[in-house]
Amino acid sequence: MDLRLGAAVPATDEERAAIASVLGPPQTGWDGGQRQAADGHVAFGGHAARARRHLLIPVLHAVQERIGWISPGALDHVCERLTVPPAEAYGVASFYALFRTAPSPGAVVHVCDDLACRVGGAEQLCEQLTRRFGAEGTRAALNGTGVTWQRSPCLGQCDRGSAALIQHAGADPARVGLAPADPDSIWQALSAGLSAGPPASPDRPLVPQITNPVSRTLRLLRRVGQVDPGSLGSYRAAGGYEMLRRAIGLGPQGVLREIKDAKLLGRGGAAFPTAIKWEAVTANPVRPHYVVCNADESEPGTFKDRVLMEQDPYALVEAVTIMGYACAAEQGYIYIRGEYPLAEARLRHAVEAARAHGFLGDDVMGAGFRFDIEVRRGAGAYIAGEETALINSIEGKRAEPRNKPPFPAQSGLFGKPTAINNVETLFCVLEILRIGGPAFAAIGTENSTGTRLFCLSGCVERPGLYEHEFGITLRQVIDAAGGVTGGRPPRAVLLGGAAGSFVGPDALDVPLTFEALRAIGATLGSGVVLVLDDTVDVTDLLRRIAQFFRDESCGQCVPCRVGTVRQEEVLARLTRHAPFRTIDQELALLDDIGSVARDASICGLGQTAVTAVASAVRLGLIGES
Ligand SMILES: Cc1cc2nc3c(=O)[nH]c(=O)nc-3n(C[C@H](O)[C@H](O)[C@H](O)COP(=O)(O)O)c2cc1C
Ligand code: SF4
Ligand code: FES
C-alpha cells in the first residue's frame, strides 16, 4: 500500500527539518519506517513507525514552533512517517488549544481572562490590547511575522495576574510567561525577542510563603528560594538525593511501608491513598511498569506545582526516581502543561544534569537499578490533567479520558501498569522519607496528614503560595496572607478552583481537612483559595466558570457535553432575572444536570462541572455585586 496522503502542498524543507528534529532523519528499510515505492516516491510505514506514534505531540510542537501553525503539508508528512491516518492526526492537532491548524502570525499572545485575573482586572487588559493590537484574533504588524492576541483560561500565574503567555515561532522559537502583564510589558517582550530564561538562576521574584504559625516549619517549600534551581550541586548541598539514598536503603517495600504509615493522600484533587496505587502497580506481574508525574496543573486558580517545578526542579526529578524505584519501573514521564515554559526548561535541565551525574540511567547511584525520565509538554487542554486523558496524550492521542476500570495501575500507559501522581504528592514523598512515615502522619489531623499548599489569590493583601498543616482554618489561611484587601470582610471564597465550590463567611472557621470540608459539601481540590469581597461581580465569575467547562468538556459523554451548555443557559436566565422561572426551579434544574452528569459521565470534569455554580446560587451570590 502506498502511504502517500496527497496534501495539495507538500511539506517544505523547513517543515521536514522540524519533523526530523524529533523523529530523526528518515531511515531506509521497513524497520526504519521508510520504503521506496515503485514509482521512486519515498513512503513510510511498518511496525517501527507505528511504535513511534507517541511522538506525535512532540513532533506537532516542533512544527508549530518552527512555522507557527500545523500546515496540511507538514501534517501529511508526519502521518507518513508515523503511519497515522491523517484524519486521526488532524483530530489530535485540532484538539489542543495551543496548536493552530490555520495560518497564524509568528507571535501569539495568550491573555488570561480567568477567575483570579478577572478579579485583578483582566477585562481592562483585554480592552487595552484591543486598542494597541486590534481586536482579539486579528493580526497586527510585528517584525514582519505579525502578532495576534487571544483570551486564555488560567495560565497558572494567578497570584500575579493579569497573566499572559507569548508563543513566538521561527528558527529561534520561544515561549515566555508574563505576570503581571500590561500592553507595554507585552510589547517589550515581543520586540526584544523572547527567551524562557536561563535555567541557571531564579529570574523572577519569589512568591511569599508563610508557614503555619504554629509549627513555623516549611516542608514542601523548604528549598524554594534557598537553592539555585539550575544547579545540581546547590540541590545536593541542601540535602538533595539523600532521600533517594534512603529509599534504596529501605528497598521498594520499605518505601511503600513509609508511605502507608504516613497515610498520604494524593494532592491532585481526588485525595486517593498513594500507597494503594503504588502497591497495585508493584504487585502487578505485567511488565514493564511506568510511572508518571501529573504536572498538567490547569485547574483555574492553581499555581503550586509551577512554583515547585520552577524553584526546586531537582526535587521533582528525585521524587519521580523514588517513585520509579518503588514501583519497579524503568521509565518515568513528567507531563507538564505547555503554558509553563520556565518550569519546563528547568526540569529538562535538571533531568539532563541528573543523567550526566548517574542519578538517572542504567545504574542509578550505583545501586543496580535502571531508571530514566522523559519530560513531555502538553498543548493546552484542561482535561489532559485527568489521569487517563493524560496517558492518552502521552501516547499521541486526543486527551480524552478512558473508562475506568481498568485503572492505570492495571492498564495504563501503553496498556501497562502505571502509577500516576501529582507534583505536590511527590514532594510529600520526599518529606515522608526525610522524617519517616509515622512522623508525617503526626502532622495535621488523623485523616488529613502532613502539610498542604494553598494558592491564595483574589482579594487578599499578599496573594501567593502558602504551606500550612492540615487543620488550619480558612480564616487563619486568609489572615496569614495579610487578610482581605483593605481590611474588608470576605463575602465568599472559592475553594478548590472551578471544580470546587463557593463557601460563605460561615465556613471561615471550618478546619481545612479532607473530612471537614466533605462534611460541608466542599473540597480543597488542588488547593485553590480565591477570596472575594463585596466589590467583585460574582455573576461575571460564574459566567466564566460555565464558559470554561463548556470549552473544556472533551465531548465524549452527552450529559457533560450538553449539560455544560445548559448550565450556561441557566446562568444567563438567572442573571437576566427571567420571570418565568424561580431561582428554586433553576437550582432544581442545575441539580438535575449535575446528578445526570455525575451518574453518566466518564470523568470528574462532568461530575463537578455544576458544583461551583450551584454552590453560588445556594449562597445567594447571583446577581449581587
Ligand atoms: C478534569 C480533571 C482535571 C484534572 N487535572 C489534574 C491536574 O492538572 N493535576 C493533577 O495532579 N491531577 C489532576 N486531576 C486528577 C488526576 O486525574 C489524578 O487523580 C491525579 O493526577 C492523581 O494524583 P494524586 O493521587 O497524586 O492526586 C484531574 C482530574 C480531572 C477529572
Ligand atoms: S465527563 Fe466530560 S470531559 Fe469527562 S470524558 Fe465525559 S465529556 Fe469528556
Ligand atoms: S493566571 Fe489568570 S486566573 Fe490563573
Ligand in nearest proximity to the CA of 267: 1
Taking the C-alpha atoms of residue 233 and residue 316, their distance in angstroms, rounded to an integer, is 15
Ligand 1 atom, smallest distance to 265 CA:
25
Q: Which of 274, 294, 390 for a ligand 1 pocket mutation test, highest count of atoms within 8 Å of Cβ?
A: 294
DSSP 461: S
The three-state secondary structure class of 185 is helix
Question: How far apart, in whole angstroms, are the C-alpha atoms of residue 290 and residue 255?
Answer: 17
- pLDDT given for residue 7 in this prediction: 60
Residue 196: is its pLDDT beyond 80? no
Tell whether ligand 2 has an atom less than 6 A from the beta carbon of residue 564.
no
Cα of 224 to ligand 3 centre, how many Å? 21
Q: Which atom of ligand 3 approaches the CA of 116 most closely?
A: 3
Please name every residue paired with 361 in a beta bridge, in sequence order, or none if there are none: 371
Separation of 556 CA from ligand 3 center, angstroms? Answer: 27
- Residue 56 above 50 pLDDT? yes
**Quick check: CB of 557 below 6 Å from ligand 2?**
yes
Give per-residue pLDDT as tens, 34-47.
Answer: 555 555 555 566 67
**Residue count of the chain:** 625
The residue whose CA is least distant from atom 4 of ligand 2 is 603
pLDDT of residue 205 exceeding 70, the answer is: no
Mean confidence (pLDDT) of the chain: 91
- Which listed ligand is nearest to 381 at the C-alpha? 1
Is the Cβ–Cβ distance between 480 and 210 less than 8 Å? yes
CA 603 to ligand 2 center in whole angstroms: 5
Q: How far is the CA of 575 from the centre of ligand 2 (A)?
A: 27
Is the Cβ atom of 393 under 6 angstroms away from ligand 1? no
Distance 564 CA to ligand 2 centre (A): 10
Residue 489 has pLDDT above 50, yes or no: yes
Query: According to the per-residue pLDDT averaged within each range, which of 172-176, 182-186, 342-346 is highest?
Result: 342-346
Ligand 3 pocket, residues with Cβ under 6 angstroms: 112, 114-117, 154-158, 161, 163, 300-301
Query: pLDDT value at position 217?
Result: 79
272 lines ligand 1 (CB under 6 A): yes
- Write down the pLDDT at residue 576: 75
Q: What is the pLDDT of residue 368?
A: 96
Contact 379, 76 (CB under 8 A): no
d(CA 502, CA 493) in angstroms, rounded, equals 5
- d(C-alpha 551, C-alpha 564), whole Å: 9
Ligand 2 centroid – CA 400 distance (Å): 7
DSSP string, 533-577: -TTS-HHHHHHHHHHHHHHH--S-SHHHHHHHHHHHHHHHHHHHT
Q: What pLDDT, in 10s, does the model give residues 552-582?
A: 999 999 999 999 999 999 888 887 766 678 8
Q: Helix, strand or coil for residue 168?
A: strand
- Whether 109 is in the pocket of ligand 2, judged by its Cβ within 6 Å, is no
C-alpha dihedral over 309, 315, 319, 322, to 10 degrees? 150
CA distance 181 to 171: 26
Considering every ligand atom shown, identify the ligand nearest to the alpha carbon of residue 300 and give its number.
Answer: 3
Ligand nearest to the CA of 558: 2
Using the mean position of ligand 1's atoms as its centre, give its distance from the Cα of residue 1 in Å: 42
Phi-psi region of 292 (alpha: psi -120 to 50; beta: other; left: phi over 0): beta
Is residue 625 scored above 60 in pLDDT? no
Of all protein residues, whose CA lies closest to atom 8 belonging to ligand 2? 554
Label the pairing between strands 492-495 and 528-532: antiparallel
Could you report how far apart the first and last alpha carbons of the chain are, in Å? 65
- Is the pLDDT at 31 greater than 60? The verdict is no
> To 5 degrees, how large is the angle CA 297–CA 191–CA 126?
55
Examine the pLDDT at 620 and tell me if it is beyond 80: yes
Please tell me the distance between residue 401's alpha carbon and the centre of ligand 2 in angstroms.
7
Pairing mode, if any, of strands 329-336 and 289-295?
A: parallel
Distance between CA atoms of residues 522 and 618, nearest Å: 13
CA-based angle 37:43:44, to the nearest 5? 130
- The CA-based angle 90-91-96, given to 5 degrees, is 100
pLDDT-derived band of residue 161, with 50, 70 and 90 as boundaries? confident
Mean pLDDT of 12-17: 96
For position 2, what pLDDT does the model report? 38
Percent residues over pLDDT 70 in the chain: 91
In 263-402 the beta strands, taken as DSSP E runs, fall at: 289-295, 329-336, 372-377
